[in-house]
Amino acid sequence: MVLSLGDRVRAAIAALMQLTGESQADLAVALGVSQAQVSRRQSGSAAWPLEDCARVAAHYRIDVLDLLAGPTRACEGLPPTHPSTPVAPPFPYLCDRTCRASSAGRGPECPQG
């Protein structure tokens, strides 16, 4: 099944909002539109204008072509430095003094050596 351009844009924006933890209200503020406008556009009852697609892409710091390509490309393009991007928890095997990956402390399994 091939998605229309409008469906790809809506899916990409929904994925970006979910990944960054932003709400429709947050996105609306960033774009300078009402939450109701974002809701109508995300529900498909109104289209995302190209100018606003460019503003969405700029807000998330991705290329507008990645936004238009759909959710996978849009999310892959999201830089780790985006203010709303969740910070991944530290890996369980990273440590300061004792490595949990090695019963003897900093062993060969420990990336810190």
pLDDT band with cut points at 50, 70 and 90 for residue 23: very high
Structural domains in the chain (count):
2
**CATH code (residue 51):** 1.10.260.40
For residues 71-78, give the mean pLDDT: 94
- Determine the pLDDT at residue 106: 42
Q: Is residue 62 part of a domain?
A: yes
- Determine the pLDDT at residue 11: 96
Q: Is residue 82 part of a domain?
A: no
Using the predicted structure, report yes or no on whether residue 88 has a pLDDT greater than 70.
Answer: no
- Determine the pLDDT at residue 34: 97
31 plus 69 within the same structural domain: yes
Q: Is residue 14 part of a domain?
A: yes
pTM: 0.71
Q: How far is CA 111 from the centre of its chain?
A: 28
Q: Please calculate the CA angle 60-29-35 and round it to the nearest 5 degrees.
A: 110
Q: How far is CA 92 from the centre of its chain?
A: 24
46 plus 66 within the same structural domain: yes
Q: Is residue 83 part of a domain?
A: no
- Determine the pLDDT at residue 93: 40
One-letter amino acid identity for 85? Answer: T
22 plus 63 within the same structural domain: yes
Query: What single DSSP character describes residue 96?
Result: S
34 plus 73 within the same structural domain: yes
Domain containing 17 equals 5-77
96 plus 73 within the same structural domain: no
